[in-house]
């Protein structure tokens, strides 16, 4: 998932450069929220894996 987010960020950066001006700015800002959400989900997954809320030893 981290690789996908990095790839998406690179794509946004390249597209923003190609679309210069207002269109590029609008595109980049529209994707920024999605990237932030993806990063938050990845952080949550890492936290859960590091310290699961269930007792794995009991199973």
- Domain ranges in the chain are 1-50
Q: Model's pTM, two decimal places?
A: 0.64
Question: Beta-carbon neighbour count of residue 42 at 10 Å?
Answer: 14
Task: Specify the 3-state DSSP secondary structure of 51.
Answer: coil
What pLDDT digit, counting tens, does each position of 2-37 carry?
A: 888 888 889 888 988 888 889 889 988 888 888 999
Tell me the two tokens of residue 25.
């700015």
Which pLDDT value is given to residue 57?
55
Distance between CA 40 and CA 34 in Å, rounded? 10
Which pLDDT value is given to residue 8?
87
Cβ–Cβ under 8 Å, residues 35 and 8: yes
Distance between CA 34 and CA 39 in Å, rounded? 9
Which pLDDT value is given to residue 41?
93
């Amino acid at each position: 998932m981290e690789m996908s987010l990095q790839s998406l960020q690179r794509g946004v950066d390249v597209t923003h450069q190609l679309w210069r001006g207002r269109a590029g700015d609008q595109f980049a800002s529209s994707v920024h929220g999605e990237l932030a959400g993806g990063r938050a989900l990845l952080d949550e997954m890492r936290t859960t894996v590091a310290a699961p809320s269930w007792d794995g030893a009991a199973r």
